[in-house]
Chains A and B, each alone.
Chain A
Amino acid sequence: MDLAYTPEEEEFRARLRAWLTRTLPLLPPKPSPDDWPARRAYDLGWQRRLYDAGYAHVHWDASPTVRLIFLEETERAGAPYVGANFVGLLHAGPTIAAEGTPAQRERWLEPILKGEEVWCQGFSEPDAGSDLASLRTRARRDGDVYRVTGSKIWTSHAEVADWCELLVRTDPDAPRHQGITWLAMPMDAPGVTVRPLRTLAGSAEFAEVFLDDVPVPVANRVGAENDGWRVTMVTLSFERGTAFAGEVVACRRVLAELAREAHGNGRWDDPALRRRLGRLEAEFRALWRLVQWNVGEATENGVPGAGGSVFKLRYSHARQQLYDATADVLGDAALDLDRPWVLERLSSLSYTIAAGTSQIQRTIVAQRVLGLPKGR
């Protein structure tokens, strides 16, 4: 067991740290969370800087350990997170890299890395959430285009996306998992309507996307027709790798700030609160070690492994506990939306739902990791 980094890894860390110190002061002020066009510009600008400095590929080609260092250092320095580039960098890009044709890789990968194009993920439908394989959005072949009709929901940053990784049903008669196809849909195609949805935090994080006879070139199909489920599983395995590593670092910083706040406002004298914060510190220390353990496993076996679901389950719950603890420290101020942590407390509620609910994750752990029999 070894927690030390190699000299090359430490050199990468030092170089990145120096670059962050130079670069972060040059960034424009963070836009308001409600101003999506400004957020898009901000996130793309950051991605462009990463590209010019040679760090843009890190999510795709770097070793799991180097990616971990990247996420740790950028978060520690307070650098922007992937933001609007989330789907492009962490889902669509890796999927196209793994499953796309040379022409597709050429067309789509570079613009993602350069911060020129934003992607969104059109998987969920009003009647197909946890049960994604029941999706009904229909794509009919018509010469060299598919004509797509249906609707998607909870599509994050659909308003500002250029492309959508879209799952459609191409064979309604095939067994559920076998009639699905993965398409790259231009968001400005005729027939696409985006209707923003307000979240419980008041912001417009995601949207409903209506598709009315939208033409999508057959050339935009990644993988074979009706093979989209397998392609999707490739996508999802990327989502659970180290994607949350930076967030654990961020949570640890919030927890330390919370302790200082409690110390300042006198609540620190309450041993029950101290012990609660101490327990959260144990939790986030352990989650960071679990990230490192999973990275070690990925390095050894070449795949993220089942540790991703174990991590996702525990982390999403821990994050909610952390922000619930802010209410104990802040007291009445926890009801004031202008105070720090209050909005984050609200958005933490999505963590046990998005990217597969905790119930679905538990079933995955029970069946795929522990090998319990499939239920009905």
Chain B
Amino acid sequence: MRFQLTDDQRALRAGVREVLARRFGPDALRAAVARPGLDRELWRALGEAGFFALRLPEARGGVGLGLPEAVLAFEEAGRASLPGPLLGTHLAAGTVPGAAEGETVVAVVDGALVEWWDEADVVVGEGGAGAVPMRSVDPLTPLRRVPDAVACTADPVAVLLTAAEQLGTATRACELAVGHARTREQFGRPIGAFQAVQHLCADLLVRTEVARSAVYAASVTGDAADAAAARVLADEAAAQGARDCLQVFGGMGFTWEAEVHLLLKRAWVRARRSGGAEQSEELLARALLSGTD
């Protein structure tokens, strides 16, 4: 057992991080808020980098990697707050023509919600046509509501990749909070020297690392209950992490200009995906009774 990233996995993560830093850094994130809409050029660049075709076999033109690598890529996307129907397009690679290359943007009807319906070239799932636009809480995720939607059992891969994105948000929230705590001074010293602030930061890290072990392990086992556990913890790490980060930023955290609110709002949107924590918790409760591991 060597439950640590391999050198190849570290390199892949660094590569995705680098591409995203170059193409979608914090300034680009703010610019995207000012001018919402899907950046098709970036989408194609992601396609070229193999983001959507990551798990497609090489014989079918894909990269031929597995769930652990996809999880690392989605974590980085989450860390950069990358907007767009990443999950829908990734899952459609190999079935919807052009999805793998980033030429076709694919949205998914997920329960009662559709993300990015207006910008998508293809919408997978029923009821999308009748979906009603709503004013989305997240400025970077347009949403539509599906009337009379029927609940369905979530795909464990969608659950896990959502958890991976949430893990990225949690990681980012922790980095931002710690960075701010080191530099912002009050009472003549960095606020990070105050225990109340230190303990907020410590809790941010603990939630993130617990979620990380769960997400990575689920990517190795591919087990539905492991994916459910990962999502429950990653939802918490992202949403509570963004809140704590906001607290560490003080008044600045409450502004539109700071990045923090975008982390929180995205975490809320993702928390509604794939049956939400509710479905995951019910699945885990059933697993407890059936005695499966």
Residues of chain A at the chain B interface (Cβ within 8 Å): 1-6, 9, 65, 68, 255-256, 259-260, 263, 268, 271, 274-275, 277-279, 281-283, 285-287, 289-290, 292-293, 295-297, 299-300, 307, 310, 313-314, 359, 361-363, 365-367, 369-376
Interchain CA distance A281-B289 in the complex, whole Å: 11
Can you pick out 23 interface pairs between chain A and chain B where the beta carbons lie within 8 Å of each other? A1-B2, A1-B3, A1-B68, A3-B220, A256-B288, A274-B282, A278-B280, A278-B288, A279-B232, A281-B287, A281-B288, A282-B281, A285-B226, A285-B284, A286-B229, A289-B214, A293-B3, A293-B213, A295-B1, A367-B198, A372-B197, A372-B201, A373-B192
A275 contacts across to B, CB distance below 8 A? 278, 281-282, 285
- The verdict on A285 contacting B3 (CB below 8 Å), with A372-B198, A374-B193 known, is no
Interchain CA distance A246-B9 in the complex, whole Å: 30
CB of A263 within 8 A of CB of B216, answer no
Contact among B1, B202, B213, B289 with A263 in the assembled complex (CB-CB below 8 Å): B289
CB of A362 within 8 A of CB of B213, answer no
Is B6 positioned at the interface, with any CB of A under 8 Å from its CB? yes
In the complex, which of the residues B3, B195, B284 has the most CB atoms of chain A within 10 Å of its own CB atom?
B3
Residues of chain B at the chain A interface (Cβ within 8 Å): 1-6, 9, 68, 178, 181-182, 189-190, 192-195, 197-199, 201-203, 205-206, 209-214, 216-217, 219-221, 225-226, 228-230, 232-233, 277-278, 280-285, 287-289, 291
Which 10 A-B pairs give the minimum distances between C-beta atoms?
A278-B281, A366-B198, A286-B214, A282-B229, A278-B285, A278-B284, A289-B213, A372-B192, A362-B202, A365-B202
Interchain CA distance A375-B187 in the complex, whole Å: 12
Interchain CA distance A297-B212 in the complex, whole Å: 14
In the complex, which of the residues A282, A300, A310 has the most CB atoms of chain B within 10 Å of its own CB atom?
A282
Interchain CA distance A271-B286 in the complex, whole Å: 12
Residue of B nearest to A69 (CB): B1
- The verdict on A282 contacting B193 (CB below 8 Å), with A3-B3, A292-B1, A296-B1 known, is no
In the complex, which of the residues A290, A300, A372 has the most CB atoms of chain B within 10 Å of its own CB atom?
A372
A366 contacts across to B, CB distance below 8 A? 192, 198-199, 201-202
B9 contacts across to A, CB distance below 8 A? 1
Interface of B is mostly: helix
Interchain CA distance A275-B226 in the complex, whole Å: 16
A283 contacts across to B, CB distance below 8 A? 233
Interchain CA distance A197-B126 in the complex, whole Å: 67
Contact among A65, A314, A363 with B206 in the assembled complex (CB-CB below 8 Å): A314
Interchain CA distance A283-B277 in the complex, whole Å: 13
A289 contacts across to B, CB distance below 8 A? 3, 213-214, 216-217
Residue of B nearest to A365 (CB): B202
Q: How far is the CB of B11 from chain A (nearest CB, A)?
A: 14
A1 contacts across to B, CB distance below 8 A? 2-6, 9, 68, 216, 219-220
- The verdict on A282 contacting B213 (CB below 8 Å), with A293-B3, A296-B3, A362-B199 known, is no
Q: How far is the CB of A306 from chain B (nearest CB, A)?
A: 9
CB of B2 within 8 A of CB of A2, answer yes
Q: How far is the CB of A265 from chain B (nearest CB, A)?
A: 14
CB of A286 within 8 A of CB of B189, answer no
CB of A259 within 8 A of CB of B3, answer no
CB of A295 within 8 A of CB of B198, answer no
Q: How far is the CB of A253 from chain B (nearest CB, A)?
A: 10
CB of A300 within 8 A of CB of B4, answer yes
A3 contacts across to B, CB distance below 8 A? 1, 3, 217, 220-221
CB of B285 within 8 A of CB of A65, answer no
B178 contacts across to A, CB distance below 8 A? 370-372
Interchain CA distance A286-B182 in the complex, whole Å: 30
CB of A293 within 8 A of CB of B216, answer yes
B190 contacts across to A, CB distance below 8 A? 372-373
Q: How far is the CB of B125 from chain A (nearest CB, A)?
A: 26
A370 contacts across to B, CB distance below 8 A? 178, 201-202, 205
Q: How far is the CB of A17 from chain B (nearest CB, A)?
A: 16
CB of A282 within 8 A of CB of B201, answer no
Q: How far is the CB of B73 from chain A (nearest CB, A)?
A: 14
Given contacts A297-B4, A366-B192, A366-B201, 15 further A-B contacts (CB under 8 A): A4-B1, A65-B1, A68-B1, A275-B281, A285-B284, A286-B230, A289-B213, A290-B210, A293-B4, A363-B195, A369-B202, A372-B178, A373-B189, A373-B193, A375-B194
B284 contacts across to A, CB distance below 8 A? 277-279, 281-282, 285
Residue of A nearest to B204 (CB): A370
Contact among B197, B209, B225, B226 with A310 in the assembled complex (CB-CB below 8 Å): B209
A282 contacts across to B, CB distance below 8 A? 214, 228-230, 232-233, 280-281, 284
Residue of B nearest to A366 (CB): B198
Q: How far is the CB of B258 from chain A (nearest CB, A)?
A: 20
Q: How far is the CB of B175 from chain A (nearest CB, A)?
A: 10
A314 contacts across to B, CB distance below 8 A? 206, 210
CB of B285 within 8 A of CB of A369, answer no
